[in-house]
Structure 1
Amino acid sequence: MPASGSSSAQQARRLLAGRLRELVKDAGLEGKDVAVLCGWHPSKVSRISTAKTQPSADDIRAWCRACGADDQTEDLIASLRAVEGMWVEWRRMERSGLRRAQEAVLPLFERTHWFRAYSSWLVPGLLQTHGYTEDVLRAVQRRRVTIDDVADAVAVRMERQRVLYEGDRRFAFLMEESVLRNGLGQSDTQLEQLEHLLTIGSLPHVSLGVVPTRLSRSRMPVEGFWIYDRAQVNVELVSGYLTLTQPSEVSAYAETFSMLADIAVYGAKARTLITASIDSLD
């Protein structure tokens, strides 16, 4: 797994490496003994035990077998899968198409009661119209996915929007003003999307804020992110999808959201910006 800048991912890798070192110590062995028993070069044991190299599931099986700790194998492999899930490259997430990538996040949306989302690129998925979503996913498919299941992926995302209307949920969306004028798709698609924002913004459990484009901002734009309750943050980067669960990192994004929310406009002022973007289409 490629190293990410996330301290959550780094910490999880170190914890896994620490558990593997403990197995060696508890077995009364040294790293060179594990290397011999596994048929590896000693440097591989060193890299795994210091978290410089991510072990594979087979590596963990061999390690546990060498330490006489086969009963620890499945638990450690589960920890490995959790580490791998913190950072996923788009090409890996989307290798079987876009539909499964959309389906994968549905359980997370269903169990969340407080959504906070910030976007500096696009209208957030829960607020997208069918046509806008189709243009977004078609652009993704053309750029990096060989399988064309865009129609199915759009249907999944549209179905996921039911969380907006079900249960006792709260939503706070922030968008940069530039999102309203990003030129995605044709003018009729953009018009439909902007008009939809005016409708969604009137829902009592939805807060829709627009961060105006202006000088001397107190907080500059950042990467798009979603905060799910107080438990998890997902960040969409150019190269992949980052999942953060470490409390300090979740708090950092919550603080950033709060700062951006303070400089956003809402209600009539937000509608004025959206309406101005509609007028610019003419």
Structure 2
Amino acid sequence: MPQSHSSSAQRARRELAYRLRELAEDAGLDGKDLAALCGWHPSKVSRISTAKTQPSAEDIRAWCRACGVEDQAADLVASLRAVEGTWLTWRRLERAGLRRSQEERLPLYLRTTRFRAYSSWALPGLLQTCQYTEDVLRNIQQQRVPLDDVPNAVAARMERRHVLREGQRRFAFLIEEPVLRNTLSTGEAQKEQLEHLLAVSGLPNLSLGVIPVAQQRRQLPTENFWIYDSAQVNVELVSGYLTLTQPSEVRAYADTFATLAGMAVYGERARGLIMSAMERLR
């Protein structure tokens, strides 16, 4: 698994390595003994126990057998799955196509009551029209996903949009002004998208802020991220998808969102920027 720069991912890996070291110590095994019982080179034990190498599920089971604690293997494998879930490369997340990756986020959307989203290059999925979504996902599919299930992925994303109008949910969206002019769709589809953006911006439970280009910045543009209540942050990076649940990291993104929100314009000023982008299309 590629090393994530997230401290929560690193912390989770270190915690798993520490638990494995404890098992060996409690069993009275040093690195060479453990390696011999598992049929490994001693360097492999060293790399796993110092979190330099992430073990596989089978490595964990072999480690537990060698230590005489096979009953703990299931719990440790579950910890491994949690570590793997913290950081997912796009290749792994989308290996079964784009539809599944869209559907897997629906339970998170359904249990969230307060959404905060920042986008620096494309409109957030919940604000997208069908054609805009198709154009964006087609671009992604052509770049990195061998399986072409774009129509089904579009349908799954459109299905998620019902959360905007159901329940007692609140939404705060921040977008950089260039997002309004990024030609991710054809001219007509882009115009339809901007008209839709004007329409949804009037929803009573939704706040839309646009960060103008022409201003002194207190915060540089950053990666796209979503904050779900105060429990989880998802970050879209070039190489993969990051999930953060450590309270300190969630607070860091919430603070960044608050700074960006203070730089945005709302209401009629935001609508003016959207309409200006529509004029440029003509």
Match of 1:204? 204
Matches within 5 A, 1:12-51: 12-51=12-51
Deviates more, 1:245-254 or 1:170-179: 245-254
Per-residue CA distance 1:52-77 (angstroms, 9 max, x = gap): 00000000000000000111000000
Q: Which amino acid aligns with 1:176?
A: E
Does residue 257 (structure 1) correspond to residue 257 (structure 2)? The answer is: yes
Residues 36-115 of structure 1 mapped to structure 2, 5 A cutoff:
36-115=36-115
Measured in 1, the distance between the counterparts of 2:271 and 2:57 equals 52
In 2, Cα distance between equivalents of 1:101 and 1:179: 23
In the alignment, the residues of structure 2 paired with residue 84 and residue 103 of structure 1 have an alpha-carbon distance, to the nearest angstrom, of: 19
Q: Tell me, what secondary structure is at the counterpart of 2:116? A: strand
Q: CA deviation at 1:7?
A: 0.3
**TM-score for the superposition, normalised by structure 1:** 0.99
Sort the Cα spacing of 1:209 and 1:215 in 2 relative to 1 into closer, same or farther, 3 A: closer
1:273 paired residue number: 273
What is the number of residues matched between the two proteins? 282
Distance 1:122 1:190 in 2: 12
Instruction: State the secondary structure of the residue aligned to 2:202.
Output: coil
Alignment deviations for residues 67-115 of structure 1 (CA, whole Å, 9 cap, x no partner): 0011100000000001011111111111111101111111111111100
Counterpart in the other structure of 2:140: 140
SS of 1:17's equivalent in the other structure is helix
2: distance between equivalents of 1:267 and 1:273? 10
Which position in structure 2 is the counterpart of 1:172? 172
1:227-246 alignment runs, 5 A limit: 227-246=227-246
1:187-207 CA distances to partner (integer Å, 9 max, x unpaired)?
111011101111111011000
Question: Deviation of residue 215 (structure 1)?
Answer: 4.1
User: Which residue does 1:224 correspond to in 2?
Assistant: 224
Distance in 2 of aligned mates of 1:191 and 1:207: 21
Aligned letter for 2:212? P
- CA deviations 1:134-187 (Å, max 9, x no partner) are 000000111111111000000000001111111110000000000000011211
SS of residue in 2 equivalent to 1:153: helix
Determine helix, strand or coil for the equivalent of 1:88: strand
Moved over 3 A (4+): none
**Which 5+ residue runs of structure 2 have no aligned equivalent?**
none
For 1:48, what is the secondary structure of its paired residue?
Answer: helix
Q: Give the AA of the match of 1:279.
A: E
Q: Which residue of 1 aligns with 2:4?
A: 4
